[in-house]
Amino acid sequence: MDLKSVEDLKGVLRPDFFHGYATAAAQIEGAWDKDGKGVSIWDTFGHTPGKVSDGSTADDAVRAYDFYREDVALMKSYGVNAYRFSLAWSRIIPLGGRDDPVNEQGIQYYSDLIDELIRNGITPFVTLFHWDTPQTLEDRYGGMLNQEAYTPDFVRYARVCFERFGDRVKHWITYNEPGVYTLAGYAAGVHAPARSSFRDRNAEGDSSTEPFIVAHTELVSHGHVSRMYREEFQPHQKGTIGITLHGNWSEPWDEDDPLDQAAAERAREFEISWFADPLYKTGDYPASMRAQLGDRLPRFTAEESKLVLGSSDFYGMNSYTTFFVKHKTTPADINDHKGNVESHDENKHGVSRGEESDTPWLRAAPGGFRKLLNWIYKRYQMPIYVTENGTTAKGEVAPTPEVLNDTFRIKFFEGYVGNALARAVKEDGVDIRSYFAWTFTDNWEWAAGYSDRFGCTFIDYESEEKKRYPKQSAYYLDKVFKHLIQQA
């Protein structure tokens, strides 16, 4: 675990740089029906046979609900100064709605977790929504498909959180990866709430329209929550509020072909600018999306556009990998949401997009990460908070010395943190203010169940207490950030 490759980068990150881990409530907490918690769409999904690849549920997950004190102590031993976690909406308001009762036991759990973090010198970054809509709202009116009904419910939930936690929480994120939520849940139908046009997979849904309707609801409801926070809470709580977007780098399959260059840019716009242009640039969707989708893409009213544009104090960025993108000569399929392109693992010259992890879509590509940091900063001119980045590694099935000395993950972090992020700051002038590794412990990785291990801490799922085993990558991150962050 030497730092040779970053020797020249000592102190390049700002003294108030945040580094730690990101998690999601539905993936780690367990206690799915304990202490008054209501049912979320992911509880429903996990309990539906055939939906999760290994047949598992998140009923217990890694029992973070029970072991949060031990987890905070472990995090502290990893040297972190911040922790990004999400609140389970249905733990706070079990039925989810604006007139439904608040669950005080749920409030108490998160309040205790926040206090424990602060006691240990760890700054809480809190995400309001990480994909787990209360099932009741889905049943009542179709969840985010009904913007008019959904928005006041989300605003009320956010208000409760600001009122109860905002005295101590100064970093708020409204939505995590609204694009992934919509595409996996409403276009492909492989995530909750499991809707799509593909009847062999889902009983209901329309992949050609619903993802864009849901995305619009997310953007507008984010705008309402942001305005409420800024007007009613920010003046005295002195916090920040933003949103976290997903997006991987798209590289032209043939770097000399103008059509592939255009396809790569279009892919970035469909994936990233779909949300980022309305938030940070124009208050509207990219022209490339309107050209392909026409009236299937909702239109912002003047009021909505004004509400959304400028509503995020920072650019929250989740990114993992890179794809080679090739243009298509055939017209776009009605269910296409990628900009009518093909994605490839190798380019025209047979060059791979990166070393394979244990997850088919994820390959290590730090060079693409640096390009993406530059592309986002140039286009949107906002401070970037990297809110998720990490990897699985092959062969992590037992806590053996070889598995716990996770050299593949260390190499991944070395590339992404040391040679991409730190050099983007020093050599390219990109304003980056945080890095949250995905993730703290192995967890329930949505539809992949427990088969995808992203953790810097190995979990023994067979043990009742879900025993934690630190991996060496956690100590590498501590070491590298001590070197990179300027000492105040």
- Which residues are designated catalytic? 177, 388
Tell me 112's DSSP state: H
Among 250, 173, 249, 186, residue whose Cα is nearest residue 215 = 186
Cβ atoms of 453 and 440 within 8 Å: the answer is no
Q: Residue 348: how many CB atoms within 10 A of its CB?
A: 15
Task: Report the alpha-carbon distance of residue 353 to residue 322 in Å, rounded.
Answer: 6
Cβ atoms of 37 and 94 within 8 Å: the answer is yes
Instruction: Output phi, psi for 450, to 5 deg.
Output: -95, 10
Among 433, 450, 342, 421, residue whose Cα is nearest residue 61 = 450
Residues 6+ apart with CB under 8 A from 252: 260, 261, 263, 264, 324, 325, 326, 347
Cβ atoms of 241 and 313 within 8 Å: the answer is yes
Q: Determine which helix (DSSP H) or strand (DSSP E) holds 113, and give its type and residue range.
A: helix 104-119
- When computed from its CA atoms, the radius of gyration of the chain, rounded to whole angstroms, is 21
Tell me 131's DSSP state: S
Q: Determine which helix (DSSP H) or strand (DSSP E) holds 138, and give its type and residue range.
A: helix 135-141
Residues 6+ apart with CB under 8 A from 360: none
User: Residue 319 region, left (φ>0) first, then alpha (ψ -120 to 50), else beta?
Assistant: beta
**Per-position b or e across 471-480, b if 16+ CB within 10 A of its CB:** bbbbbbbbeb
Q: Quick check: helix, strand or coil at residue 365?
A: coil
Cα–Cα distances in angstroms (integers) from residue 389 to residues 247, 248, 421, 449, 456, in the given order = 11, 11, 11, 19, 12
Q: How many residues does the chain have?
A: 488
Task: Report the alpha-carbon distance of residue 94 to residue 412 in Å, rounded.
Answer: 39
